[in-house]
Structure 1
Amino acid sequence: MKPWQTLWAALALALSLSTTSHAQILIGQTAGFSGQVAAGVKETTDGALLYIDAVNAKGGVNGQKIELSSLDDKFDPKLAADNARKLIEEQNVAAMFLTRGTPHTEAMIPLLEKHGVALVGPSTGAMVLHQPVRKYIFNVRATYQREAEKAITHLASMGITRVALVYADDSFGADGVLGAQKGMTAAKMTPVASEKFDRAKPDFKPVAAKVTKGDAQAVLIIASGSAVVDASNALRAAGSAAQIVTLSNNASGGFIKSLGNNARGVIVTQVYPNERAVTYPMVKEAQELAKAKGLTEISPAMLEGFAAAKVLVEGLKRAGPKPSRDKIQAALESIKKFDLGGLEVTYGPDDHTGLDFADLSIIGTDGRFRR
């Protein structure tokens, strides 16, 4: 082969490899893969990958496979914002996906708006991400306020009148308390104790003492992962036998395991149907894909990730063969009555809310969520 032929062959090979390596849609994710919410983050991401991997196995979206670039922010809002910057400005992701935490997601809003990057399915039900409507945020799950209100309504229906509120001193905690207060107002109740704690350095001993002194029949703990576990342990150590209730951000199998002997009877709100309710096509589909991967069952957290992935993929499909950031945002906003498999999602310029489904579950003696 002549020298010029060798050069052209090398260039052709390089071009081929370049084309192959870029035949993908890069999606960014920052979440606490380590730290207090690690168990839930892993399950939610695993659920999303169930669907994304299935789509990729069939050729991807418009001939391009989806690649999820996930960074660990250790559940630190500052690190979440820095990770988002790296993903958006350095890795040039087409969209952001499945972030975790209210202050964490809030911290990256300026970046989303500056670069016109859509965020699909933040794993938080904060009202601040719903109202006012954020142009680049597309929620999938229901709000924390809806969950907290439903939890209080349920307790009131059981004849429980003495309820304590324990919540993280951040935007997530404050948001959940607003929902709880709505439920209490409707039930003509006032909390016997309302205690906030430092999310970074919680001390639950004095909190548990005040709740116990108030003779609470139930305690709604608005916090994440290990904080709820530590609060539960402190309450039991203080002699409280109160019914413990928490929100869907803790709806993972890992959370149940971390509760140990205190798991049985804990009420956890849910924002998706029963993960064993195969009457919902989405649940059946997720179960079948999980089984194909050798998994025996799915968790509510996995179902949340699965649903978010379905919305992401639908947006990418509508964005066309060259899904730029602006095309993805417009495509997502065009979604109307998209059937996830028994639940519908609709967006528009004035509504990025997603679903409004809220339910309750209780952890059974077998360590599984029961409806």
Structure 2
Amino acid sequence: MTAYASPARAETGIYPDRILLGQSTSVTGPMASFASPCLVGARAYFSEVNARGGVHGRKIELLTRDDGYDGEVARENTERLIHSDKVFAMFGYAGWPGVETSLPLVTRARVPFLFPCTGATSLYEHFNRYVFTARAGYVREYRYLLKLFRRFGVNSVVAVYQNNIFGKRLMAEMQRQADAHTFSLSAAEVDINSDFSVVVRRIMALRPDAVLLVNGDPSINASVVRGVQAAGYRGRFFGASVVVQRAVLDSLGQISRGVITTQIVPSPWHASIPLVADYRKLMEANGVTEFSFGGMEGFIGARVFVEGLRRAGRNLTREKLIDALESINESNFAHRGFPLTFSATNHHGSDFVDTSVISGDAAFVN
């Protein structure tokens, strides 16, 4: 009898007719408008694969637990997914706190941690055999913005960062990078309870050419942009991909026009790119009319995971999946407009970063 048919010998989370994945993400909470599109994009692709019979006769089941962007809740979710739900792998986590608390658990349990929808620095600091990403990290995104400032004539910047461990780590990296450039960098610390009138006065007193948003909380970003513009600021706003959330766009409306952000996947409005055309067709088939960068990110992660399953074969194990994912590269996988390359020493498939500018309520790549 083959291994997959024997419950006593089967890999955890693998059944004759299905593969069980686990996920802790922000279904609710301040990052929900960022995390939800990623989940929609991934689920749509998995549903399409399942409708065609799955991979090697197994359908993909994604068990999602809400953590509300709370690291401790995410840790509890991850413990439950590993030990009670007994999932095969983790997929599509979103939210820096959840990644921070969950990585030690999945690494110790040797559970693959696949294609999170976040650029949290802890994913990129050290090689981890069990972690795979298909996007650039936040540090690379901000480095990219710093290099762009000369092109935009920016000589002075105020970075507005969130008063938590994640904001401080990013801000420290920005300060190190600024030393190598020809502009001045000042900082303004904020949290959700800040008196934004004080923050606005500090920014206006410094008279910067640009305001750099170094946090992902949509309410903070909306308050900063709205307050500074109301005070008469006419400079530019910049931020990483996490800044462009539906909650920010809905809150600011036309005030968001002109905000420049990085993006780590192709624009979902560039339908001439084959991968984007695939994504749009799938979304429309699922009744989703609002395309998004987050949806593209989830779609790409799901697509690469499925390719790994196909290469790993019917007798699937976690180690075989890791080996299969490591075999995916630009020359042997039809990326259709978004090259990805993995290897035994590199599990970060893409360092792609581009810029977009918000125009009304949509973002378009420059």
Structure 2 counterpart of 1:304 = 297
Cα displacement (A) at 1:284: 0.8
Distance of 1:93 and 1:229 partners within structure 2: 38
Counterpart in the other structure of 2:267: 274
State the partner residue of 2:347.
352
Equivalence for 1:332: 325
Separation in 2, partners of 1:351, 1:112: 18
| 1:54-82 Cα shifts (integer Å, max 9, x gaps) | 11111111111111111110001111111
Distance in 2 of aligned mates of 1:356 and 1:179:
18
Selected match of 1:26 from 15, 20, 27: 20
Measured after TM superposition, the shift of residue 272 of structure 1 is 1.2
Question: What TM-score, normalized by structure 2, do the two folds share?
Answer: 0.88
Question: Which structure 2 segments of 5+ residues have no match?
Answer: 1-14
- Residue by residue over 1:256-280, the C-alpha shift from the partner in whole angstroms, topping out at 9 and shown as x without a partner, is 2232342111112111112122232
- Supply the AA of the counterpart residue of 1:361: S
Identity of aligned residues (%): 33
Give 2:79's aligned residue.
85
Instruction: Measure the CA separation in 1 of the matches of 2:349 and 2:172.
Output: 20
Quickly say closer, same or farther: Cα 1:351–1:187, change in 2 above 3 A.
Answer: same
Q: Which residue does the alignment assign to 1:4?
A: none
Query: Which residue is equivalent to 2:153?
Result: 159
Higher helix share: 1
User: How far, CA to CA, are the matches of 1:93 and 1:205 in structure 2?
Assistant: 48
Distance 1:299 1:268, change over 3 A: same
What amino acid does structure 2 have at the position aligned with 1:342?
A: G
Matches within 5 A, 1:1-371: 23-177=17-171, 180-181=174-175, 184-191=178-185, 193-198=186-191, 201-224=193-216, 225-337=218-330, 338-365=333-360, 367-371=361-365
* Alpha-carbon distance, 1:239 to partner: 4.0
What letter matches 2:157 in structure 1?
A: V
**CA distance change for structure 1 residues 202 and 59 in 2, over 3 Å: closer, same or farther?**
farther
2:42 counterpart SS class: helix
3-state SS in 2 of match to 1:327: helix
1:183 Cα deviation from its structure 2 partner: 5.5
**Cα contact 1:96–1:120 (8 A) shared by 2:** yes
Q: In structure 1, how many angstroms separate the alpha carbons of the residues matched to 2:31 and 2:355?
A: 21
Would the aligned equivalents of 1:363 and 1:370 in 2 still touch at CA under 8 Å?
yes
SS in 2 for 1:111: helix
C-alpha separation in 1, matches of 2:31 and 2:209: 27
Check whether the contact 2:25–2:74 (CA below 8 A) recurs between aligned residues.
yes
- 1:306 maps to amino acid: F
Question: Which stretches of structure 1, 4 residues or longer, exceed 6 Å deviation after superposition?
Answer: none
| CA distance in structure 1 between the aligned counterparts of 2:219 and 2:336, rounded to whole angstroms | 32
Equivalent residue pairs, number: 349
Structure 1 spans left out of the alignment, 5+ residues: 1-20
Q: Name which one, 1 or 2, has greater alpha-carbon Rg.
A: 1
Q: Deviations over 1:20-67 (max 9, x none)?
A: x96211111111111111111111111112211111111111111111
CA–CA distance in 2 between the matches of 1:254 and 1:295? 18
